Structure 1
Amino acid sequence: MYTVEVKSDKEKRQFLDVVDEIYKNDDAYVRPLDIMIEEVFDPEANDFFQHGNAVRFLLMNDDNKPIGRVAAFINEKKAYGFQQPTGGMGFFECINDKDAAFMLFDAAKNWLSERGMEAMDGPINFGENDNFWGLLVEGFTQPAFGMQYNPPYYKDFFEAYGFENYFEQVTNHLDLQKPFPERFWKIAGWVGRKPGYHFRHFTWQESEKFIQDFIEIYNDAWQFHENFTPMKADTLRKSLKEAKDFMDEELIWFAYYEDTPIGFFVQFPDVNQILKHFHGKMNFVNKLRFVYLKWRKVMTRTRVVIMGIRPRWQRNGIESGIFWHLRKVVSKKPWIKEMELSWVGDFNPKMRALHDSVGAVFGKKHITYRYLFDEEKRREKQRASAIPLDTREQVNS
């Protein structure tokens, strides 16, 4: 076995297609669109190359056939905010062979170490954490769009190599055919009618306004997250453009106090319910099939990508107020039967409490691992910092 850095068009194709062998007998797997993977490693398409770098490797067997892959990357805006310079590894796929897996891990580690990194987190994305983030360890059902899926045996590879649990990510499922707890709706109705508060769903006609409102909320609400990086308007515009073909304006909501944006709730129909038929390709025929399947309303669940409330307005029931208005929308779309609330880290107890309050049940668990290159330092367990339960006090202090 040997590793090779991905450079040629043939190697790029092999990097994409190696999943066919690994998941050939796995009915739950949904191959991501090839173009999504390629854009991650395209400096013209991925803004993270403005402050970082990435590389891809293939693992070949003795017959020169690809049997695994991995990527390594450095996000310079975050790498130096930890106890040690920390890079990332991801897009790991491998046959069920520990030696093969370790060769891929070594390739990522060596590339990062040569560039001054002393640790690596993985599997993560060279981009935002709403896609391709974390190792699936429980709940091996069909993944929602952007959610990481992998064979169960990967967990043994990561932990045997020396990766340690840095944080856990829980995804819960909400059955929209079951009523919410009555106490929740009482709070929601009260908030929804409070003077000064109002709620609006996203519209393309006013997309620039909503982009600016999102940034104002995000940069305030996420300031206490570990290694917070402010959101950029161009990043949002690109994400919206990519989702335009399948998104539903009425499923994205914003909360306001008078004219001040104070919260948002972003979810998309689960386009994986369509893409599972496309084998990673969005050619002309599949574009026609996409329109047809969308018309047939085969997307019966949504994925909640992100939700946030500005610190000053937290613990005021704003989330409940958003659900109060969202309920009316969902009632008009009876084909939507399930909402996937993904993913909430164990460093975010407030959001986990919200999942419990609406009656969501466990669906999946992912782990984001950290591997320290120095064996002595590896004995010191590192965990992601928890977000304070009451960030209002942090703002006012």
Structure 2
Amino acid sequence: MSIAISPVVKAADRAAFIDLPWQLYAHDPHWVPPLKSEMHGLIDPKKNPWFGHADAVFLLARRNGRVTGRISAQIDRLVLAMPAEQGGGPGVGHWGMFEAEDAETATALIKAAEDWLRGRGMTQAMGPFSLSVWDEPGLLVKGHDHSPTVMMGHHLPAYQAWIEGAGYTGVRDMQTYDLDITQDFPPIVQRIVASGERNARINIRKVDKSRFDEEAALLLGILNNAWSDNWGFVPLTDAEIAYAGKKLKPIVFEDLIRVAEVEGEPVAFMMTLPDLNELTRDLDGRLFPFGWAKLLWRLRKPQVRTMRVPLMGVVKRLQSTRLASQLAFMMIEYIRRDALVHYSATRGEIGWVLDDNQGMKSIAETIESTVNRIYRVYQKTL
């Protein structure tokens, strides 16, 4: 039967779009059901402030009336304003939220997304981005044999061949690093940390959650400075910062976020999150009627195996200096200690890390972490 592609219009379409992964990953032991309320919020222009600078279409594939795949196509005006060397520029459109049960469906979906982008003047298609670089960027090409951590994607292994078969080539790889945090770091790292502790100019402090808005603004200010030259970086708008803060506040803990100060000036930070996937896996994507109560109870004092480091930054003027590395090692060590003692964690995951970020890769290798997953962003000329 031929594949029919149609946009999400009605509530039933939206539900089918969100629910499809439950069908495709039913027998994948490493897939973690996302919270459906979060997914509905992600694609709702009335809730997600990303739509304040972007337009998107959500498409469903059906064979004989049965849903067999989905995809989004989107144009972000902030991406269009980016320099080409950072992965943006005029004519660069994105697609994402890609899922398909077979190659025929995949081909039809990708073509439909390309046609939508081409019809709006785009000359390059890049993806997957679900929906932006701040959500779940890239296709999983290594690491299908274990579950993703919080805010990380998981995809069927067949997708790589289907996307590359549609004429796409990899443009960037993003890596995550796996770390056994029950073991002390190598002696060289311990000496660097001890040296920093003797330096009266350096102070590593916890964040103060009672001043959440102020602290969030501080961290994002460092982030914008530290990451502004990175490939794919799109600055968050004020509305997006407020939206992200509201979502993150229940899952951030003061001893898992550190700010490094030099002579009283905040110059670096590291954010670590308990792996929320471990706390929500058995909810099957549903917070009602009892999921909310279970999750809130578990978040009172979360006990998890894994901690994820999604964000870390050092102000630009200190990057590539020995001081920057010292501050990073100190923050990692302090959070490692608290993760062990207070959260029962035994494993850390750093990332994602861009494949050309030599400074962060060097830090990850020095603490003897290893690459456990790779996410790839693809590009094609339309």
TM-score computed with the length of structure 2 as normaliser: 0.92
Structure 2 CA distance for aligned equivalents of residues 94 and 227 of structure 1: 26
Residue 323 (structure 1) aligned to one of 332, 336, 339: 332
Matched, 1:90 2:96: yes
Residue identity matched to 2:19: D
Aligned partner of 1:188 in structure 2 is 193
Structure 2 CA distance for aligned equivalents of residues 102 and 121 of structure 1: 15
Displacement of 1:241: 2.0
Displacement of 1:80: 4.6
Aligned partner of 2:30 in structure 1 is 28
Structure 2 CA distance for aligned equivalents of residues 293 and 238 of structure 1: 23
Aligned partner of 2:252 in structure 1 is 247
Displacement of 1:209: 2.4
| CA separation of 1:227 and 1:288: change in aligned 2, threshold 3 A | closer
| CA separation of 1:335 and 1:181: change in aligned 2, threshold 3 A | same
Taking the TM superposition and a 5 Å limit, the aligned residue runs for 1:122-271 are: 122-129=127-134, 131-140=135-144, 141-226=146-231, 228-271=233-276
Q: Is the 8 A contact 1:189 1:324 kept in 2?
A: no
Structure 2 CA distance for aligned equivalents of residues 296 and 318 of structure 1: 28
Structure 2 CA distance for aligned equivalents of residues 139 and 184 of structure 1: 28
Residue identity matched to 1:78: V
Residue segments in structure 2 that go unaligned for 5+ positions in a row = none
Q: Is the 8 A contact 1:216 1:261 kept in 2?
A: no
Q: CA offsets, 1:142-196, max 9 Å, x none?
A: 1111111011000000100011101011111111111211101111121233122
Aligned partner of 1:341 in structure 2 is 350
Shift >6 Å, 4+ stretches: none
Q: Is the 8 A contact 1:199 1:254 kept in 2?
A: yes
The 3-state SS of whatever aligns with 1:332 is helix
Aligned partner of 2:365 in structure 1 is 356
Aligned partner of 1:384 in structure 2 is none
Please say which of residues 322-331 and 259-268 is displaced more in the overlay: 322-331
How much is the aligned-residue C-alpha RMSD, in angstroms? 1.8
Structure 1 CA distance for aligned equivalents of residues 198 and 76 of structure 2: 44
The 3-state SS of whatever aligns with 1:162 is coil
Aligned partner of 1:392 in structure 2 is none
Aligned partner of 2:77 in structure 1 is 76
Displacement of 1:113: 0.7
Structure 2 CA distance for aligned equivalents of residues 85 and 192 of structure 1: 50
Q: CA offsets, 1:85-106, max 9 Å, x none?
A: 11111110000x2121010001
Displacement of 1:20: 1.8
Q: CA offsets, 1:189-237, max 9 Å, x none?
A: 2123312221111222122221222132122212222364434444333
Displacement of 1:46: 1.8
Q: Is the 8 A contact 1:215 1:233 kept in 2?
A: no
| CA separation of 1:239 and 1:32: change in aligned 2, threshold 3 A | same
Residue identity matched to 1:41: I
| CA separation of 1:136 and 1:213: change in aligned 2, threshold 3 A | same
Structure 2 CA distance for aligned equivalents of residues 103 and 283 of structure 1: 35
Displacement of 1:52: 1.4
The 3-state SS of whatever aligns with 2:290 is helix
Aligned partner of 1:109 in structure 2 is 114
Q: CA offsets, 1:299-332, max 9 Å, x none?
A: 2211111111012223212101212432442342
Aligned partner of 1:65 in structure 2 is 66
Residue segments in structure 1 that go unaligned for 5+ positions in a row = 374-397
